[in-house]
Amino acid sequence: MREFDLIVIGSGSGLDVADAVAESGQRVAIVERGPLGGTCLNRGCIPSKMLIHSADVMETINTAEQFGIKVKGYEVDFASIVKRVTDDIDHDSAEIEKSLRSSKNPVLFKEECRFIDHKTLQVGNETIKAEKVLIAAGSRAKIPDIKGLKGSGFITSDEALRLKAQPKALTILGGGYIAAELAHFFGSLGTEINIVQRGRLLVPNEDEDVSSQFTRLSSHRYNVLTGYQPVAVLKQGDIFAVTVESVETKEQRTLRSDQLLVATGRPPNSDLLDLEKTGVKTDEKGNVVVDQFLETNVKGIFALGDIIGRYPFKHVANYEAQYVYDNIMDPDNKVPVDYTAMPHAVFTSPQIAGVGKTEQQLKAESAEYLVGGYSYYDTGMGKAIEDQTGFVKFLVDKRTQKILGCHIMGTNASTLIHEVLVAMKSGDGTIRSITGVVHIHPALPEVVKKAAQNLQ
C-alpha cells in the first residue's frame, strides 16, 4: 500500500488543488481514468465553445445581407472545424499528462478507482491511502430507459463534439443548455434539427421570460416538440426513427434523422466509487453531500464540482477549488463557500446569461419585488446590430433595492452580465450600483442601465 497526504480523484478543477498542495511539500496522488484535464477541457465547455464560434461565424455570414453585404461562394468544411478543435484539445490534455508523468509530486494514477476501506482506494492493481481525500470525479451523460435506444448507435455530447461527418438531420432528446448549444452548432451549419422536450419550455431552469422567448425563437428555426417524450427508437439502416408521444394527449409521431443525440441530463459519478466503503453520504440524486466548507460527513474527505450537484459550471468548480485548498491546508480555520452572485451563461443563439433568483422562484417565495426590463432594439447599439429579440430583465427587492436577479438574452449576454455581477458581489448590491454609473453611448451595455432604470 502506498500512502499520501492527499488523494485527488479527478483531474479537472481537482488538479488545481493537487498541484497547490504538492507545492507546499505534501505528498499528493491524483487519480484520473480518462484524458487529463477533466470534462471541461476534453468533453465540455472548451471544445463546445470553440465549435460554437464556427456556428457564430456562419450566422454572421447568413445575416450579412441585412447590413448591405452580399456573401457568395462559401462552404462548410465540417471535418476541418472539428479537427481544429480536437487537435488543440488533445494537445493540451497530452501536455498535462506529460507534465504529471514527469513529476514526482503529484503522482499520477491513470486508472479507475474505488474505495475499498476508510480513505483507502483500489487503483488498478495498487492500493493507496491518505488522511485527506478530494472527490472531484464529475458527472456523465444520463442515458434514459427508452425502448430500442441501447445499442442503436446514439451519441451523447461526448461524441457530438468529435463527429467527423456533419449530420443531415439530428434529433435531440432533451431541452436543457447542452441541447440548446448543440442545436445551435449543428443547426447554424445547416443540419436539420428536431428537439424533443418533455416540459413545455426549453432551457426550463432559466427565468420564465427567457425560457418562453427562447422556446419561441427556437421553434422558428427548428422542429421543436415541447410536451413530448420519446417512447421508442428504431434504427433502420442509417436512419434513426424515434417515436415520441404527447404527454397530454398521448398522440404519437415519428421523427427521422441520420443522427440521434441524447442530452437528458448529467448524473454524478458517485455511484462508480463505492463511497459507502469509506462512509461518505450521498443524497437521493447521488450527489455527494458536503457542508458549507465542502467537507463530507467524513472528516478530511472533501468534494467539489459536478459531483456535489450545486452548480454544474466549470467556473464554479474552479472557485470551489480555492476554498477546498484553504480548508485542507488550514482545517482549524475553515472558510465557508460564498456563492453570492454565482452566474451562468448558455452559448447558444441568442446567448443567455443569468445570476440570482428567477421570477418564478420569487413568486414561489411570495417575495415583494420590482421588475425592470429593456429591449436591445430600443438602444442605439441594439438597433445598429439588428438585435430585435434581446432583452435585459432585473428583479429587485421592493424595500431594499437589492438586486435579486438579472437575466439577459441576446448578443453578448455572457459579457453584459458581468457588470451586474460586480454590483452584486463587490458593490453595495443595490440597483443604484448600475443606475449611478455613466455608460458609454451608444455601447451595448446601455441596455443594462436602461433596464435598471425601468423598475415597475
Task: Please report, as a single letter, which amino acid is at residue 85.
Answer: V
**Which phi and psi angles does 226 have, rounded to 5°?**
-90, 150
Thinking of the domain 157-262, which architecture would CATH place it in? 3-Layer(bba) Sandwich (3.50)
Between CA 421 and CA 337 the distance in angstroms is 17
Per-residue pLDDT of the chain (456 residues; tens, 9 = 90+): 999 999 999 999 999 999 999 999 999 999 999 899 988 888 888 999 999 999 999 999 999 999 999 999 889 999 999 999 999 999 999 999 999 999 999 999 999 999 999 999 999 999 999 999 999 999 999 999 999 999 999 999 999 999 999 999 999 999 999 999 999 999 999 999 999 999 999 999 999 999 999 999 999 999 999 999 999 999 999 999 999 999 999 999 999 999 999 999 999 999 999 999 999 999 999 999 999 999 999 999 999 999 999 999 999 999 999 999 999 999 999 999 999 999 999 999 999 999 999 999 999 999 999 999 999 999 999 999 999 999 999 999 999 999 999 999 999 999 999 999 999 999 899 999 999 999 999 999 999 999 999 999
Contact 256, 238 (CB under 8 A): no
Full-model pTM: 0.96
Give the span between the Cα atoms of 26 and 36, in whole angstroms: 21
By the 8 A CB rule, do 204 and 214 touch?
A: no
According to DSSP, residue 277 is labeled G
Cα–Cα distance measured from residue 405 to residue 370, given in angstroms and rounded to the nearest whole number: 11
Q: How many CB atoms lie within 10 A of CB 269?
A: 21
CATH 3.40.630.30, domain 2-140+267-333, yes or no: no
- Grouping H, G, I as helix, E, B as strand and the rest as coil, residue 144 is coil
Asked whether 27 and 18 are in contact (CB, 8 A), the reply is: no
Q: Number of C-alpha atoms within 13 angstroms, CB side, residue 226? A: 16
Q: Is 79 helix (H, G, I), strand (E, B) or coil?
A: helix
What pLDDT does 40 receive?
Answer: 82
Determine contact, residues 241/214, Cβ cutoff 8 Å.
no
> For 343-452, CATH number?
3.30.390.30
**Amino acid at the residue 281:** K
pLDDT score, position 73: 87
Contacts of residue 173, defined as CB under 8 A and 6 or more positions apart, other chains included, come to 144, 146, 179, 196, 230, 242, 260, 261, 262, 263, 264
DSSP symbol at 187:
H
Helix (H, G, I), strand (E, B) or coil at 232: strand
Instruction: List all residues 6 or more positions away from 100 whose beta carbon is below 8 Å from its beta carbon.
Output: 30, 36, 106, 108
Query: What's the distance, CA 93 to chain centroid?
Result: 20
Q: Please determine whether the domains at 2-140+267-333 and 157-262 fall in the same fold group of CATH.
A: yes
The β-bridge relationship of strands 228-236 and 352-356 is unpaired
Q: Where along the chain do its domains lie?
A: 2-140+267-333, 157-262, 343-452
Catalytic residues: 441
Say if residues 207 and 241 touch (Cβ distance below 8 Å). no
The four Cα atoms 35, 37, 39, 42 give a dihedral, to 10 degrees, of -60
What residue type is assigned to position 290 of the chain?
A: V
Identify the DSSP state of 7: E
Confidence at residue 366, expressed as pLDDT on a 0 to 100 scale: 98
The answer to whether the CB of 221 falls within 8 A of the CB of 193 is yes
CA distance 41 to 360: 33
Helix (H) / strand (E) element for 221: namely: helix 208-221
What is residue 287's DSSP assignment? P
